[in-house]
Amino acid sequence: MRETITAALKAATKAREMQRVSTLRLVSAAIKDRDIAARRREPERRTDAELLELFAKMIKQREESQKIYADAGRTELAEQEGAEADIIREFLPKQLSDADMAKAIDDAIAETGASGMRDMGKVMGVLKGRYAGQMDFGKASGAVKAKLG
């Protein structure tokens, strides 16, 4: 994942795509920050699943900023935030459809033997382990609650 981002940054720099260069530098800096913060706890580097989680968080931040800027009438800033989110989204795997997400939730519930709300953490742990970056876990959490509740 890191090599992919580095290669994309080099290509964007050569092509003089300044918006893309800026966004990819932000992504690289966020990865390095995460590595440095985690170094105290665990010496190994972050896994791709953790990086996908980081990317999803960065996209969500940009989408929230985009909405705030749009509501305030700052369309140029809203467009910039949207463009950054699109660039980061390129590095995420394909998102699961609603039907695939429902099947994944059913499979996780069956695998963990979950029978009530007290087992929700187990189900969400399985989903996060398998589908990092592929599903909206806020939406999945609501679906799990509905099935277990």
Cα 93-95-98 angle, rounded to 5 deg? 160
Tokens 């989408």 — which residue? 63
Q: How many domains does the chain have?
A: 2
Residue 91, classified by CB atoms within 10 Å of its CB into exposed (0-12), middle (13-18) or buried (19+), is: middle
From residue 125, how far is each of 95, 109, 122 by CA, in Å? Answer: 18, 11, 5
Q: What is the pLDDT of residues 114-140, one digit of tens each?
A: 888 898 999 999 998 888 778 888 888
CATH number at residue 103: 1.10.10.410
Do residues 85 and 103 both lie within one domain?
no
Do residues 75 and 142 both lie within one domain?
no
The encoded tokens of residue 48 equal 């791709």
Do residues 114 and 46 both lie within one domain?
no
From residue 4, how far is each of 7, 35, 58, 131 by CA, in Å? Answer: 5, 17, 17, 20
pLDDT of the residue at 131? 84
Q: Reply yes or no on whether the pLDDT at 43 is more than 70.
A: no
DSSP secondary structure code for residue 94 in this structure: P
Q: What is the pLDDT of residues 72-118, one digit of tens each?
A: 999 999 999 999 999 999 988 888 888 999 999 999 999 998 888 89
Q: What is the pLDDT of residues 51-63, one digit of tens each?
A: 888 888 899 999 9
